Amino acid sequence: MLDYLNIKRIAADTGFDRCGIAPCRPMPRNRAWFDRWLGHGYQSSLAYMERNADKRFDPAQLVEGARTAIVCAVGYKNHIGAGYPAGHRAKVASYACTTDYHTTLRAMLGQMLRTLCAEYPALRGRAFVDTAPLAEKQLAVEAGLGWIGRQSLLVMPDLGSYVVLGELLLTDQTDRYDTPYAGSGCGACRRCVEHCPTGAIVSDRVVDTNRCIACHTIERQPAAEVTLDGWIFGCDACQSCCPYNRQAPMHRNAAFDPLFDPAAMTPDEWLAMDDAAFEARCGRTPLVRSGAERIRESVRRNLSPNGPKE
C-alpha cells in the first residue's frame, strides 16, 4: 500500500505546487454531461473528443488495474497573464510563452514515477499530460484540488486557473485519499462570461468551441465570422479577469519562466519573423503547434480593416 504523505513529499520535491490523490473509479455523471455537450456539437472541429469516451471517464481502462490517481498541479502565472494594453494586436496566451508544459510535466511525472517504483517494486503506472482521453479536471476535483469554474477550467482557491495538470495512474492503493472538493467558489461572479469576446461560454461550465478564440487560433483555421480580438495564439480573456487569478501568486517553478514577452512585440515584428527566427524564439514553446506562417496569418487578420475592433 502506498504512503499518502510520502507521495505528497515526492511531488513537492519534484517541483509540483500541489498534489491531490483520488481513487480510480468510473465517473458516469461526467460521462452523461459530456455526451450532452457532444450532442450540441460544441466540440466543433475537435473530432478527437468524440473518440474513446469510455476510457475518458474510467481511468482503469487506460491503465489495467489502476486503483489510484495522483493529480499534480503547477502554477504558471506570469506578468503576461495580467492582460495586454488596449488595442494590442499580437496577443499570446500566457502559458504559451514558456517551454511547452507537456515536455516539462512529462519529465517531472517520469521522475516521480521512477522514485515511486524504486520504493514499491511491484508498482505499475503511467503518466498523462493532456494527450490521452482522461477527464483530468474532474479527477482534480475528486483529488480535492479545486472546482471546475464557470469558464470550464479547473480553479484552485490559491492558484486560480493559471495551472497545468499532470496525472499518474497507479496500480496500488494508498493508505488514505483526499476529500473531493465540494461546491464552487465562483458564486455569482460572471466576469469570465462577460469578458469572452465571442460569447463562447454559453452556460455554466459549457464552452462552444465553434466560438472559442483559442480553438480558432490553435486547433483549426478561424472561421470568417469569428473575431480573434487581437489574439494570435490561444486566449486568456476568461482568465485574466478572474478574481482568483488576480490574487494568485506568480509562478515559483523556474521551468515556467517566460521565454519571450509578446506584450513588448509589435505585429510588424511578428510579420518580419522568418521561419528561422521563429524557431529561435518560439521553438521550445507551444507556438510551434501553429507554426510561423499561421501565426503571421493571424497577425494579418487582426490588422485587416474587417478584423477585430475593441
Which distant-in-sequence residues (6+ apart) come within 8 Å of 116 by Cβ? Answer: 2, 7, 10, 123, 125, 168, 170
Tallying the residues shown for the chain, one arrives at: 310
Cα Rg of the chain, angstroms: 20
CA–CA distance, 225 with 210 (Å, rounded to integer): 10
Quick check: is 130 catalytic? yes
Q: Which of 3, 100, 130, 257 is catalytic?
A: 130
Residue written as grid cell 504523505 = 5
Q: What are phi and psi of 200, to 5 degrees?
A: -75, -20
User: Which of 163, 166, 167 is CA-nearest to residue 153?
Assistant: 163
One-letter-per-residue 3-state SS of the chain: CECHHHHHHHHHHHCCCEEEEEECCCCHHHHHHHHHHHHCCCCCCCHHHHCCHHHHCCHHHCCCCCCEEEEEEEECCCHHHHCCCCCCCCEECHHHHCCCHHHHHHHHHHHHHHHHHHHCCCCCEEEECCCCCCCHHHHHHHCCCCEECCCCCEEECCCECCEEEEEEEECCCECCCCCCCCCCCCCCCCHHHHHCCCCCEEECCEECCCCCHHHHHHHCCCCCCCCCCCEEECCCHHHHCCHHHHHCCCCCCHHHCCCCCHHHCCHHHHHHCCHHHHHHHHCCCHHHHCCHHHHHHHHHHHHCCCCCCC
Q: Report, as residue numbers or ranges, the catalytic residues.
A: 130
